[in-house]
Amino acid sequence: MMFKDKVFVNELAATAIMGNDAWNRPTAQPIKISVEFDTDFSMASKTDNLKYSLNYAVISRNIMEFMKINESKNFKSLQNIGEAVSEIVLDEKKGGGEKVEISIKSEKSEIRADEIEYKLYRDRYTQGVVEDKLDSINVKKLRLLTIIGVFTFERLQKQLVDIDLTIELLPHHNVIIHEIMEEITRFVEVSNFKTVEALELTIGQLIFQHYDNDISKVMVKITKPNAISYTEGVGVRSLLTKERFAGLEKLNTKPQVETNDQFNLPVTEEIKQGNHIVYIAFGSNVGDQVKNINQAIDLLAKHDIELLSTSSMYISKPMYVKDQPDFFNGVIKVQCKHSPTELLSILKHIEYEEIKRHKDFENGPRSIDLDILLYDESTVNKPELTIPHKSMLERTFVLQPLCELIKPDFIHPVSAEPIHNHLKELLKSQGNESIQESNKLMNIVPISQIDPSLNPLKFDHKSKTLMMGILNITPDSFSDGGKSFGDMDTIIKNFKKLVEDGSEIVDIGGVSTRPGADEPSESEELDRLLPVIKAIRDINKEVLISIDTYRSEVAKQCLDNGANIINDISMGLYDEEMFDIVAQYQCPYILNHTRGTSKTMSKLVNYEANTNEDLIELINDPLTGQSNQINDNPEVNNLINGISREQSLQLSKAFKKGVRKWQIILDPGIGFAKNLKQNLIILKYLNYFKKYSIIINERLNEDINENYISFNGLPLLVGTSRKKFLGTLNNEENPTERVVSTNATIISSIQQDCKIVRVHDTQEVAKTIRIGDAIYRDIY
């Protein structure tokens, strides 16, 4: 007979002795009894007469009376209680039904678990299996502590795991659930696992190797409730049968405890010969940090290790030992043929023999520290070397620069998760103040001639916006032509005012860059610049001097005479040797976007979508992840991506010449090959320049060399001062009238996380910066 209706009693409260409790005492414990009958009460529905159905009140009373009479009886198991209840509720004389599902739950019999449930199916006639439905035992939230994870911070202490079990039982089984739970607890809590998947398999094997003739299948669910702070838990679930464990050796139920010194990663069986891509972290907090870092990197070439690219450079708070100076950190990407152990030996030689590092104690001050983070996609586990680096995923000063050099889909060889995802989670965390004051980083653009403590080119989310005052010494500048031309006394007077107004940088230009301007000869440009640099350095040795030039020889001679920064409006397009000079002097370099020349740029304003299959563009933010476009407006995407794409191709050339990423300051080049609307789009979407990244596939015969360039970490400079588009918007024909208009763009730029503004009217802009920094950076 087919039954289509149900009558149930849900969680009837009772007490019973079901064997010894968690303290090995045969005491009565609270239980919950549920019964659900398969029946047909259609006639009762039609006649509204209860005699044609099952009376749940009578059934409930019968169960309670039975349990009360037997409150001193030791049933020894939940199953035995269920069997006894089934006889009551299937007794026709007592108003019972024909088929029933019974659940007996206990919340107190196991101190480690929230609940144990025995579920059985019985009918009046067979008194056994009902339609192939097997009995089952369910364990809810068996709470254990174990070492689980692949990273150092996870292996320093045990963490909580919740285990749920559903065990399907064969007829006439001999399973004792308390014995299973005891063995799982004993084994797991003195073992260690790299993954929850391995833990899940271990639990299944423990159950089947003792009860393979009693169990049909086991559902194992493992939850790590505290792994990710904004979820209720993460984990795995799997349905296991004994076939899964065929041929496996039995588990040793007396495992050894892993010490914190052990780190048993799966290893790559064989490291193939040939070229290898390696990522190396560097750090220094003793002596001249920048000099130490550059020296260490230069020494790599002596050992046939080719530098491919560098990250930005960061300042970080010391970790583990907090009472020491801040560190300068970053990551480099290299190529070599050395094995991992050979490479380690070379790095230690550079540290201790070449740069004379002294190690007084673990995690203490050091002049240079070089650590192998990744070696291809290999894993190495030796007493002296672990790859991937054990501690990399707990350190922002490693992950943040590393993610500037690896694609967003780069998978950690052990965690099987993109490394960018690990960075995102780390940046969202507050860090552990007991081992590091803060995990937030400060970006620095190093200047070799200046003590790092006096270098203003240091940026974080709360750093002051820097002002670059403009000192044009040309007769034909678009906004102040002739103002500082020829007369040295006037030039010095104007320079002093820029500094008094608060300019941290003074940008000196000997060539007009206004559209249509004629360019002077190289010697004429030098004649204008060199006397001014020398005169300024005689009276002021601290202020940063930037030289607005696109000629490499001019850059070289100005740097030799005291200049600090090269501001190249051509981003290296006008002079192919510019990158050689910038690399040689290791000076800051402002990469200003442009097209054409001063005479042709106004016509080159058509920005199209990328059609080159070897260039893959991304918008990638360390905190929010990646996307393929800024928004749905093609004009916006084409402009921002077009500017960034052209800058990234120039950066690729610069890096091959030896320029390092930490030298670069980005300038989107407002007014250079852009019309009015495009200038406004740049200002509106300025922050997206810092999120741009690109994969450049370079084809070499049949091989493809993949080069990833990310703008993450690059400081942004904007120059809108007195520009024509502002005059057009406000009908201000004379450039000197555009002060208020300029200041409006300054506020907008600060809101979009611009770090440096290049301006003429320094006294007025200084006030604007103070307001913008107060609003957007909480500086006041």
* pLDDT, tens digit (0-9, with 9 covering 90-100), for 610-658: 999 999 999 999 988 888 889 889 999 999 999 999 999 999 999 999 9
CATH number at residue 592: 3.20.20.20
- Does residue 124 belong to any structural domain of this protein? yes
| Domain boundary residue, one of 262, 292, 323 | 262
pLDDT at residue 716 in the model: 98
- Does residue 146 belong to any structural domain of this protein? yes
For residues 218 and 360, membership in a common domain is answered with: no
Q: Which two tokens stand for residue 726?
A: 């502002």
Which of 30-39, 174-183, 482-491 is predicted least confidently?
A: 482-491
For residues 82 and 153, membership in a common domain is answered with: no
Distance CA 189, CA 158 (A): 9
Average pLDDT of the residues in 131-147? 89
pLDDT at residue 257 in the model: 45
For residues 364 and 481, membership in a common domain is answered with: no
Structural domain range at position 157: 138-262
- Does residue 454 belong to any structural domain of this protein? no
Q: Identify the band that residue 729 occupies on the pLDDT scale cut at 50, 70 and 90.
A: very high
Q: Is the dihedral of CA 74, 78, 81, 87 positive or negative?
A: negative
Indicate if the pLDDT at residue 533 is higher than 90.
yes
- Does residue 347 belong to any structural domain of this protein? yes
Number of domains in the chain: 4
| Domain boundary residue, one of 133, 165, 184 | 133
For residues 57 and 80, membership in a common domain is answered with: yes
| Domain boundary residue, one of 83, 118, 133 | 133
- Does residue 449 belong to any structural domain of this protein? no
For residues 510 and 387, membership in a common domain is answered with: no
* 387 C-beta neighbours (distance < 10 Å), count: 27
pLDDT at residue 23 in the model: 56
Share of the chain above pLDDT 90, in %: 71
pLDDT at residue 268 in the model: 66
For residues 127 and 149, membership in a common domain is answered with: no
Q: What's the 3-state SS for 308-362?
A: EEECCEEEECCECCCCCCCEEEEEEEEEECCCHHHHHHHHHHHHHHHCCCCCCCC
Task: Give the three-class secondary structure for 762.
Answer: helix
For residues 301 and 283, membership in a common domain is answered with: yes
- Does residue 207 belong to any structural domain of this protein? yes
For residues 147 and 247, membership in a common domain is answered with: yes
Indicate if the pLDDT at residue 46 is higher than 70.
yes
CATH number at residue 323: 3.30.70.560
- Does residue 613 belong to any structural domain of this protein? no
Indicate if the pLDDT at residue 132 is higher than 90.
no
pLDDT at residue 692 in the model: 96
pLDDT in tens, 110-119: 888 999 999 9
CATH number at residue 11: 3.30.1130.10
Q: Identify the band that residue 191 occupies on the pLDDT scale cut at 50, 70 and 90.
A: confident
- Does residue 110 belong to any structural domain of this protein? yes
For residues 440 and 470, membership in a common domain is answered with: no
Mean pLDDT taken over the chain: 90
- What predicted TM-score, i.e. pTM, was given to this entire model? 0.73
Distance CA 59, CA 80 (A): 19
Distance CA 232, CA 566 (A): 53
pLDDT at residue 258 in the model: 44
For residues 415 and 388, membership in a common domain is answered with: yes
Q: Identify the band that residue 255 occupies on the pLDDT scale cut at 50, 70 and 90.
A: very low
For residues 127 and 166, membership in a common domain is answered with: no
pLDDT at residue 476 in the model: 55
For residues 674 and 773, membership in a common domain is answered with: yes
Indicate if the pLDDT at residue 241 is higher than 60.
yes
Which of 335-339, 379-383, 477-481, 686-690 is predicted least confidently?
A: 477-481
